[in-house]
Amino acid sequence: MGRLFGTDGVRGLANAELTAELAMQLAGAAAAVLAAGADGRRPVAVVGRDPRASGEMLEAAVTAGLAAAGVDVLSVGVLPTPAVAYLTGQYSADLGVMISASHNPMPDNGIKIFAAGGHKLEDAVEDRIEAVLRGDEKPARPTGAGIGRVGTASDAADRYLAHLASTLHNPLAGLTVVVDCAHGAASNVAPAAYAAAGATVVAINAEPDGLNINDDCGSTHLESLQKAVLENNADLGLAHDGDADRCLAVDAGGSVVDGDAIMAVLALSMRDSGELHANTLVTTVMSNLGLHLAMRDAGIDVLTVGVGDRYVLEGLRGGGFSLGGEQSGHIVLPSHGTTGDGVLTGLRLMERMAATGTTLAELASVMQSLPQVLVNVPVSDKTAVASDPAVADAVAAVERELGDTGRVLLRPSGTEQLVRVMVEAADDTRARALAERLADIVAAV
Distances (CA, A) of 281 to 85, 164, 222, 292: 23, 22, 26, 10
Query: Taking the CB of residue 185, how many other CB atoms lie within 10 A of it?
Result: 36
Report the DSSP pairing between strands 176-180 and 200-204: parallel
Nearest to 69 by CA among 132, 5, 3: 132
In 3D, which of 80, 46, 145 has the Cα closest to residue 340? Answer: 80
What are 424-431's contacts with CB under 8 Å, separation 24+?
424/288, 424/289, 424/370, 424/371, 424/372, 424/373, 425/370, 425/371, 426/370, 426/371, 427/371, 428/371, 428/373, 430/406, 431/370, 431/371, 431/372, 431/373, 431/406
Is 102 among the residues known to form the active site?
yes
**Spatial strand order in the sheet of 176-180:** 200-204, 176-180, 236-239, 248-251, 256-257
User: DSSP label at 359?
Assistant: -
User: Is 235 labeled as ligand-binding?
Assistant: no
Q: Tell me how far CA of residue 233 lies from CA of 201, 221, 352, in angstroms.
A: 12, 20, 20
The answer to whether the annotation marks 440 as part of a ligand binding site is no
Q: Is 243 annotated as a binding residue?
A: yes
Phi, psi of 278 (to 5 degrees): 55, 20
**Sequence-distant (≥ 6) Cβ neighbours of residue 78 within 8 angstroms:** 48, 49, 50, 51, 55, 185, 187, 188, 208
**Residues 6+ away with beta carbon under 8 Å from 53:** 106, 210, 211
Distances (CA, A) of 51 to 56, 128, 276, 281: 8, 30, 35, 33
With CA atoms as reference, report the closest residue to 97 among 29, 155, 41: 29
Of 333, 326, 321, 319, nearest to 219 (Cα)?
Answer: 326
94 is in an annotated binding site: no
> Which position among 54, 102, 269, 287 bears the catalytic label?
102
Q: Point out the annotated binding site.
A: 102, 241, 243, 245
Q: Point out the annotated binding site for Mg(2+).
A: 102, 241, 243, 245
Residue positions annotated with a catalytic role: 102
